[in-house]
Structure 1
Amino acid sequence: MEIETLLEMLDTGLFASFLSKILLISILIFILTAIYYLIHIGNRHLDPRKRLLFTSDHFKALLLFSLGFTLIFWLYLRRHAILPMLTPFIISAIIAYAFSPVIKWIMKVTKLSRAWAVLVLFLSGIFLFFVLFYTLLPNVAEELRRLGERLPDFSMALYHGFETWYQNTLMGVDFLPEHPQEILEFFNLNLSTITNFLFQTIGNIATQFGSFLSSLVYIVTIPVLTFYFMKDEEKIGDFIKGSVPICLQSWVFPLSRQVDKVLSGFIRGQLLVALFVGVASGISLIILQVEFAILIGIIAGITNVIPYLGPIMGGVPAAVIAFLDSPMKALWVVLAFVVIQQTESSVVSPRIVGQRVGLHPTMIILALLVGGSLWGFVGLLIAVPLAAILKVFIAAAIRWSKHHLPEIF
C-alpha cells in the first residue's frame, strides 16, 4: 500500500515538487553561507581599512530575512487553504488590538485587574449587541426587504425621470439625438445590468455573511480567542519581544513602535470617525424623511473609511433615493452630507486621527487603485494602512542603508 502511494506521488509530480522546494531552500542556505565565508577569506588578504565588515550578526539578519520572505511567499501561494484556518485568529487579533486602549482605560478608572477589565468589556459588548439586535437589526432587515421590493420601481422612476429631463433641457442640441429613444435604450440596458449586479452582489454578501454567522466554529472560537488575546496581551507581547534575536532588537523594536503608531492612529481613529459619520448621516436622513435612512447611514459610516471615494459611495444612494421623491429633498440631502463631511474632515478627523498615516494624497489614490484591483471592497478598506506600513518599512530600510552600507562597501 505504501509503495502504491509513493508511485501515485511520483506520477502526480508531488514528490518532484517537494524535492524542488527542498532543493531551493538548500541552495539559498548554501549561497548565504558561501557569501559569508568568501567575505571572511577575502578579508584575510586585504588591508584592514578595505575589509568588508560582514559579521555573524549581519549573516543571521540576512538569513532570517531570507527565510521570513520565503515563508511569507509560501503562505501567499497556499493562501486559499490556509486563510480559512487563520481567519478566526486574524479577526480576534484585530478586535483585541482595536479595543486595547478601552481595556487600559477600564483598568485605570476601576482599578481592576486586566482579566476583570476584559470581562467587563465583554459583558458590556454582549449587552450592547442584544440592544442593537432587538432595536436596530429589525429595522435594517425591514429596510433591506423594502429595498429589494422597490428596486425595480426605482429603475423605472429613474428611466422616466431621465426621459422627462432630456426632453425639457437637452432637446434640440445639435450633437445629441432629436429623440431620447437611443439614449434611453442604452440607459435601460445598462440600468438592467446594474440592477442585476446589485441584486447579485447583495445576495452574495448576504449569503457569505449568513454562512459566516452560521459557522459554529467562528461563533465559538472568535469570542474565546479575542478574550485570551485581550487578557494575555502583555504576555504575548513579551513572548514576541523575547523571540526577536538580540542582533535585530535595535532595529525591530523602533520599527514595531512606528507601525503600532500608524495602525493605532488609523484603525481606532477611523472606527470613531465612521461611527460619527454613520450616526450623523442616519439622523439627518431620518429628519429629512428619506427612505432607508438607517441602512444608508450604516453604508455611509462603513464606506467613510475609504478616503476620497467613501463619501461619494455613501452620499450618492441617499441623493438618488431622495431625488425620486423630490428634487428639493435631494438638494437638502446633498447639503446635509456636505456639512457632515466638512465637519468630519475639518473637526473630527484632525482631533481623532490626525496626520498619523503620513501619506501624500497621490499615494493614497494609488494605494486605493491597487487594493481595489487586487482584493475588491476589502482591498479598499485595508489599502491605506498597508501603504502606510509599507512606507514605514521603506523609510527604515533607507535609514539602515545609510548607516550600514558604507561599512560593508
Structure 2
Amino acid sequence: MAETPTLTRGHVLLFFLVMTASIAAGLAIYSSASRITELLHTATTGIVLPILLALVLSFLLEPLVRLFERGPLNRTASIFLVFFLVALLIYLAIRWLSPHWADMWFSLRTDLPRYLGRAIALLKEAQAKLQEVFPYVGGIDLPSRGRILAERLFGEILSHTTGSALRLGGLMVLVPLFTFFFLRDGQKIIRFSVGLAPNRYYEMAHDLAWLISRQLSHFVRGRVLEAAIVGLVVGVGLSLTDIRYAPLLAIFAGVTNLVPYLGPLVGMVPGILIALVDLGLGGQFWWIVATYVLIAQVVVDNFILIPILISHVSNLHPLWVIIAIIMGGKLYGVLGMIIGVPVASIIKIIIIEIRYYRQTFALPLSDLEY
C-alpha cells in the first residue's frame, strides 16, 4: 500500500511563495493593462470622433465620387469636385436657415427653465398619485432627482457652448482632411493591410476586408437614410400643429434614432414635454404623441425602414444589440452606443468567416505553420 505523501514546512513555504508571486504578477499585469487602456482612451478621445465622422462621410460620398470618376476626371479631381458641391450645398443651407435657427435656438435656451420646471411639477403630481396606490413610493424623491438632473443638463448646455464651438472648429478641419484621405487612399490602405497577412491566410483576410467594407457601407448608408426619413416624418407631423421648435425637435428625433431601442424613446421626450406645457392635453398633444410613436416609429421605422434598410445588414439578435449598446456606452458614451452595433456585426462576420475557413481548408496539425 502506497504511503500518503506528507507536506513538510518547506512544501508549504514553497506553495505560499508561488501563490504570492502569482497574485503579485496578476495584479501587476492587471494594473499595467488598466493603465495602458486608460492611456489609449485618453489619447484617442479627441481623435475617435473625427475619424468616425470621416468614415461615415467617406461611405456616403463614395458612390458620388465613383460617378464623377467614370468621366474625364481622375479620382483626386472627383473628390475635390464632390467636396466643392457639398461645401456649396452647406453654405446655401446655412445662408437660408441661419437667421431663423439662431432666433429659435436662443428662444429655446430662454424657455428651457420653464419647460424643466413644468417637468418637475409633473413629477410631483405623478408621485403624489402613485403614493396613494403604492405608499412605499414616497421614499423616492423623484422631484429632487429630476431637479438635480435638469440643473445639471441646463448647466452643461450653458457652460459647454464655447467648448462646443471650439470642438466644432476642430472637426471642421480634421473631418474633411480625414475624409479626403479615406476616399483617395482607402483601397490602398485595405490592400496594404491584407498584404500583411501570411500567405496561408491571405484569401481569408481578403474576403474579410471585402465583407467588412460592404457591411459598413450598407449599414452607414442605411442608418443615415433611416434617421433622415424618421426626422422628416416627425418634422412634417409636428408642423401640422402649433408646437414651437418643430425643426429642432425633428432633427433631435432623427439624430437620436441612430441609437437602437433607446434613441427613439429619448428623441420623443422633448417634443412631448413641450407639447404638454404649451398645448395641454388636447387634440394636438395626442396627435404629436401619435406622430412620434405610431407614425414615425411603429409604421415608418419598424414596418418599412428597418426590414428594408437595416435587418439584412446587421442581422443580430436583439440581446446582442442591447449588449453592444451598453458596452459601447460604457466606453465612449453616446458615440459608443451608436457604433456598438456595427462593431458587433463586424465581430460576428470575423468569427463566422474564420470558422468557415477552418472547416473548409483545415489541414493536419503537422502541416500548420508557426
CA distance in 2, matches of 1:222, 1:163: 45
Alpha-carbon distance, 1:226 to partner: 2.3
Residue of 350, 365, 372 corresponding to 2:307: 350
Per-residue deviation, residues 197-256 of structure 1 (Å, max 9, x unmatched) = 2113434654443121234xx544432342243234444444444444433211101111
SS in 1 for 2:364: helix
Match among 58, 75, 84 for residue 96 of structure 1: 58
Change (3 A) 1:246 1:345: same
CA distance in structure 2 between the aligned counterparts of 1:383 and 1:405, rounded to whole angstroms: 32
| Structure 1 residue 277, shift from structure 2 partner | 1.2
Residue matched to 1:382: 339
Counterpart of 1:368?
325
| Pairwise CA distance, 1:334 | 1.2
Write out per-residue CA displacement over residues 276-316 of structure 1, whole angstroms, 9 at most, x where no aligned residue.
11122122212212122111111111111111112111112
Task: Provide the rounded CA distance (Å) in 2 between the counterparts of 1:160 and 1:95.
Answer: 43
Per the alignment, residue 130 of structure 1 pairs with 91
CA distance in 2, matches of 1:336, 1:133: 28
Paired residues, number: 330
Which one-letter code corresponds to 1:386 in the other structure? Answer: V
Report the equivalent of 1:275: 228
RMSD (Å), alpha carbons: 3.4
- 1:265 deviates by 1.8
Kept in 2: contact 1:303–1:314 (CA 8 A): yes
- TM-score, length-scaled by structure 2: 0.77
Q: Structure 2 CA distance, aligned partners of 1:377 and 1:77?
A: 20
2:295 alignment counterpart: 339
1:326 corresponding residue in structure 2: 280
Matched, 1:251 2:207: no
For 2:353, the equivalent position in structure 1 comes to 396
1:383 Cα deviation (Å)? 0.8
- 1:261 paired with 2:214, answer yes
Instruction: Give yes or no for the alignment of 1:289 onto 2:242.
Output: yes
Matched residue type, 1:119: F
Aligned partner of 1:34 in structure 2 is none
Kept after mapping to 1: 8 A contact 2:124/2:142: no
Aligned-pair distance for 1:321? Answer: 1.1
Q: Is the 8 A contact 1:371 1:379 kept in 2?
A: yes
Do the aligned partners of residues 234 and 375 (structure 1) sit closer, same or farther apart at CA in structure 2, a change above 3 Å counting? closer
Other-structure match for 2:265: 312
**Match for 1:350: what amino acid?**
P
Q: 1:89 to 1:319 in 2, by over 3 A?
A: closer
- Which blocks of at least 5 consecutive residues in structure 2 are unaligned? 1-34
Distance 1:121 1:395, change over 3 A: same
- Aligned equivalents of 2:248 and 2:150: distance in 1? 18
Indicate which of 144, 149, 152 corresponds to 2:110: 149
Give the CA deviation at 1:386: 0.8
Question: What amino acid is aligned across from residue 150 of structure 2 in structure 1?
Answer: T
Q: How far has the Cα of 1:319 moved from its partner? A: 1.1
- Give the CA deviation at 1:400: 4.0
Contact 2:123 2:143 in 1 (8 A): no
User: Structure 2: which amino acid aligns with 1:285?
Assistant: L
Shift of 1:380: 0.9
Point out where structure 1 has 5 or more consecutive residues left out of the alignment. 1-72
Q: 1:86 to 1:376 in 2, by over 3 A?
A: closer
Alignment correspondent of 2:10: none
Q: Match of 2:271, as an amino acid?
A: A
Identical aligned residues as a percent? 25
Counterparts of 1:60-99 in structure 2 under 5 Å?
Answer: 77-81=39-43, 84=46, 88=50, 91-99=53-61
| C-alpha distance 300-205 of structure 1, shift in aligned 2 (>3 A) | farther
Q: Residue 141 and residue 190 in structure 1: after superposition, are their counterparts in 2 closer, same or farther (change >3 A)?
A: farther
- What letter matches 1:378 in structure 2? L
Note if contact 1:265-1:354 (Cα within 8 Å) is conserved in structure 2: no
Offset, 1:364: 0.6
Tell me the SS of whatever aligns to 1:359.
Answer: coil
1:358 shift after superposition? 1.0
Q: Which whole-Å CA distance do the structure 2 matches of 1:89 and 1:307 have between them? A: 22
Partner of 2:146 in structure 1?
A: 191
Q: Deviations over 1:308-364 (max 9, x none)?
A: 112111112211111112212221111112212221222233333341111011111
Alpha-carbon distance between aligned partners in 2 of 1:172 and 1:301, rounded to the nearest angstrom: 36
Find the residue that maps to 1:248 and give its secondary structure: helix
- Does the C-alpha gap of structure 1 residues 282 and 187 become closer, same or farther in structure 2, counting only changes over 3 Å? same
1: CA distance between counterparts of 2:262 and 2:172? 32
Take 1:115 and 1:261, find their aligned partners in 2: how far apart are those partners? Answer: 22
Distance 1:289 1:248, change over 3 A: same
Q: Distance in 2 between matches of 1:78 and 1:219?
A: 24
Aligned residue for 2:27? Answer: none
Secondary structure at the residue paired with 2:313? coil
* CA deviation after TM superposition for structure 1 residue 88, in Å: 4.8
